[in-house]
Amino acid sequence: VRVALIVPVFLLNLLTVSLVGYLSYKSSEEVVADMKDMLVAQVRRRVDLYLNLKFEFAMRINRANLNALVHGRIPLQDTASTERFLWHRLNDFEDINTILFGSTNGTFRAVHRHTVLSAVVLAGNYDPAEPDTFYRYIADDQGGRAKAAGKIEAFPVQGRPWFSGAMAKGAPGLTEPFQIGADAALAVSCYHPFFGAQNEFQGAVAVNIPLGH
């Protein structure tokens, strides 16, 4: 009789404990899933905020460069003065690593903070006889050319994503992430087109925003 009374009670207790354990497990799974979703959403919001802030910052630089171009403070006919202007502009802002300018006539100028060379590089298609050849120079501490740093063949400005994006969109925008040459870090280009008196596309300015932070 005692066994007959104990066994059902034992089985009932075992069932109760098992059910509680199962429900606790399922509840924990749901909590973990909810926490994962919440963390993913938080990270996405922070990444979006970071990129938006970087984009707005880069756009301010682009607008300042366009203003300087319109008012003649970027003298494109004077290569040395243009390089010094862009060099000083790059040194004013540590959160960007490249300033770019390109026009529909093929002019291509860039100043880049090169992590591999640990130097600022001045670059452009300076030789009219080789309009698609991109020459590079290490900058000195005044924004002048200290020494040659090689060249890149077949590098027309029209083929660069920031330039073709500005031309196709006709409005400010961002490129897809990319790697800059031998630099390991990824970056995106923030570009801004500019237009002539008849609203024809004449070129673009851009800055590269590193994504290494």
Q: Crossing angle of helices 79-92/2-70, nearest 10°?
A: 150
150: left (phi over 0), alpha (psi -120 to 50) or beta: left
Spatial distance between the Cα atoms of 108 and 195, rounded to a whole number of angstroms: 17
Q: Which residue type, as a one-letter code, is found at position 87?
A: W
Q: Indicate the DSSP class of residue 70.
A: H
Spatial distance between the Cα atoms of 97 and 140, rounded to a whole number of angstroms: 17
Q: Which of 112, 206, 199 is nearest to 157 (CA)?
A: 206
The pLDDT of residue 122: 92
**H-helix or E-strand containing 164?**
helix 161-169
pLDDT one digit per residue (tens) for the chain, 213 residues: 555 556 565 666 666 767 666 667 666 666 656 666 777 677 677 767 777 788 889 999 999 999 998 888 887 788 889 899 999 999 998 888 899 999 998 899 999 998 778 889 999 988 878 888 999 999 999 999 999 999 988 888 999 999 999 999 999 999 999 887 666 678 899 999 999 889 999 999 999 998 865
The pLDDT of residue 73: 83
Query: Across 7-159, where does the E strand assignment appear?
Result: 98-103, 108-114, 119-124, 134-139, 145-152
Residue 110: CB atoms within 10 Å: 23
Question: Which residue(s) pair with 181 in the sheet?
Answer: none
Spatial distance between the Cα atoms of 136 and 139, rounded to a whole number of angstroms: 9
Q: Which of 96, 71, 68 is nearest to 84 (CA)?
A: 68
- Diameter of the chain measured on Cα atoms: 109
Q: Which residue type, as a one-letter code, is found at position 198?
A: Q
At 125, list the tokens. 């298609």
